[in-house]
Amino acid sequence: MADGDTPAPVSILLVEDDEVIRRSVALALERYGYRVTSAADGLTGLERFREGGHDLLLLDVMLPGLDGIGLCRRIRETSMAPILIMSARGDALDVVSGLEAGADDYVVKPVDTAVLVARIRSLLRRAVYAPTADRTRVGPEPSPAGTGTRLVFGDLVIDTAGLEVAVAGRPVALAPTELRLLLEFAANPGIVLDRQTLLRNVWDYGWDGDSRVVDLCVQRLRRKIGAERVETVRGFGYKLRR
């Protein structure tokens, strides 16, 4: 294959203030073929992000200048790029704050390389996710003739080919995980999906994961498409109202 046809390596922006951790994580990711740009504080990380060209962001929570939660919020103002936060010991407040700020997932420090790479690969798959042909035909109303790609739930319209969402005719910007979660609900309208099913199908977890990532992603999705559209079935899970 000619050099011009070779896909560019995935670019990751790593923001971590601990030099030892920053270097070790960058080296580990580079061994897996990723291109890593590093920053040692939140403000520098924001500058690097604004330079563009990053496919995924890996943010520590405790950063000088601008912490990882604030950095995540600033990034989400203009970008839906996948964001993975690193939390010391999986601190509940760090995790919840990061997910509420718009992060897609988290890993616990010290970071296990195999787990980190698995989470990165999962996030990147979500970022380029396209639904299957079967899913494009699911919906309470028929799609326009010849398209077969629109799911319509009242004034909520999901274009499964263009991966675009609109509510009452207004485009809604969704992060990759939010979009994939909505597509999973839309593929199963009116069916209750438990948290472990969602972790498996949306987050690609092959093991029991932290259900908080589901709950907080549902909260973010509700804020964007309307709280009444995703119903909580207490003790069981969630469902998209028809």
Residue 22 pLDDT > 50, yes or no?
yes
Could you report the per-residue pLDDT of 110-150, keeping only the tens digit for each? Answer: 888 998 999 999 888 877 543 332 332 233 333 443 345 78
Three-state DSSP at 13 gives strand
Other C-beta atoms closer than 10 Å to the C-beta of 51 total 9
**Percentage of residues of the chain with pLDDT beyond 70:** 85
Q: Is the pTM of this model over 0.85?
A: no
DSSP assignment letter at 33? T
Could you report the per-residue pLDDT of 31-81, keeping only the tens digit for each? Answer: 999 999 999 999 999 999 999 999 999 999 999 999 999 999 999 999 989
Residue 83 pLDDT > 70, yes or no?
yes
Question: Which sign does the torsion angle of CA 101, 40, 115, 176 carry?
Answer: positive
Phi-psi region of 226 (alpha: psi -120 to 50; beta: other; left: phi over 0): left
**Cα gap 132→122, rounded to integer Å:** 17
Other C-beta atoms closer than 10 Å to the C-beta of 49 total 22
Torsion of CA 142, 125, 45, 117, to 10 degrees: 160
Average pLDDT over the chain reads 85
Q: Is the separation of the CB atoms in 126 and 180 below 8 Å?
A: yes
> Could you give the domains of the chain?
7-127 (3.40.50.2300), 133-240 (1.10.10.10)
Q: What is the pLDDT of residue 237?
A: 95
Torsion of CA 18, 88, 66, 213, to 10 degrees: 140
β-pairing verdict for 35-39 and 11-15 = parallel
Q: Is the separation of the CB atoms in 54 and 12 below 8 Å?
A: yes
